[in-house]
Structure 1
Amino acid sequence: MASLHTLPYISATDLIALRPNSKLAIVDVRDEEIRSELGHIAGSWSFEKRTFDEKLPDLVGKLEGQETVVFHCNKSQHSGPACANKLVEHLTTLVSNKEIETPPQIYILEKGFNGWATAGHPVCKCGQDFCKGC
């Protein structure tokens, strides 16, 4: 089982450099109310922490073909890392059971959404669970 300290963090600058890669998923685990109020990273997917466990199979299905997954919450100190670790545990089981061959690389966004927005990176307010990029 992976601990919260084993997953690497990725800076907003490095995430922007990866963005042209179409095999990148950004997973926002903040509550819908906060996401609606503050906006979200364009192109991100909403998988709220409070329903994350029950929607984990849906997330795994959407990740097919993705090479990189970046999780975040407001500050990426609690919810983002916790949900990322749940995905790692689930993917480890799938690899052990030979249900998937190679899981995606998983990162946590350094400083979370707050750091992203404070640095002046683009924020979207489309309100979609699976933003196509505003």
Structure 2
Amino acid sequence: MPIKYITADELAAVIKDPAKKPGEDYLVVDVRDDDYAGGNIPGGRNIPSRDFHLHVNDLIKQAHEKELKLVVFHCSLSQQRGPKAARVYSEIRGNLYPALKDSPDREVAILRDGFSSFQAKFRNDPKLVENWEKDVWDNQYH
């Protein structure tokens, strides 16, 4: 199954769906490093990109054991770190669990435009963004 992009609105709908629980039905993996400060998606898991290779096998095993239907990766802009983590995760998962390689019910996705865009749209909704800090985002250069 190819890696797809998921929009901020699509991810927000997943998170707000009362029938879905983070870590049971889906998982958001935030691979931001030092730029993790300033806000995050509730229920998400931060695995800094610099350490991702150390944790990817455990992440795959946990997702497999919980039969997660959707794993979404992102970084600040989802241009490099998020897509790379999604690709590495997908490739290693395909090697460890070949039956999942083309499984339509085990999706791997990348948050289009990353957390920067997500927080700009949803920062005032505590169900979608927590630990948001205005000063951090006022000092960003995007």
In which range does the TM-score fall when normalised by the shorter chain? 0.7 to 0.9
Cα offsets for 1:45-64 (capped at 9, x unmatched): 01111011111122113213
Q: Counting helix residues as a fraction of each chain, which structure ranks higher?
A: 2
SS of 1:123 mapped into structure 2: coil
> What letter matches 1:10 in structure 2?
I
- Large movers: runs of 4+ above 3 Å: 98-103
Write the distance in 1 (CA, Å) between the matches of 2:54 and 2:69: 23
Question: Structure 1 unaligned runs (5+)?
Answer: 127-134
Deviation at 1:95, TM superposition (A): 2.3
CA distance in 2, matches of 1:16, 1:94: 30
Whether the 8 Å contact between 1:95 and 1:101 is mirrored in structure 2 is no
2:130 maps to which residue? Answer: 124
Give percent identity, aligned residues only.
Answer: 29
Local SS of the residue matching 2:27: strand
Larger Cα-atom Rg: 2
> What RMSD, in angstroms, separates the aligned Cα atoms of the two structures?
2.5
8 Å Cα contact 2:30-2:48 kept in structure 1: yes
The answer on 1:7 being equivalent to 2:3 is yes
Aligned residue for 1:55? Answer: 55
How high is the TM-score relative to the length of structure 2? Answer: 0.74
User: Is the CA contact (8 Å cut-off) linking 2:94 and 2:100 kept in structure 1?
Assistant: no
- Given that residues 76 and 111 in structure 1 are in contact (C-alpha distance below 8 angstroms), is that contact kept between their aligned partners in structure 2? yes
State the partner residue of 1:92.
94
Deviation at 1:100, TM superposition (A): 9.4
Change (3 A) 1:112 1:101: closer
How many pairs does the alignment contain? Answer: 119
From 106, 113, 136, the counterpart of 1:104: 106
Following superposition, the deviation at residue 94 of structure 1 comes to 1.4
Structure 2 residues not aligned, in runs of 5+: 133-142
The normalised TM-score by structure 1 is 0.78
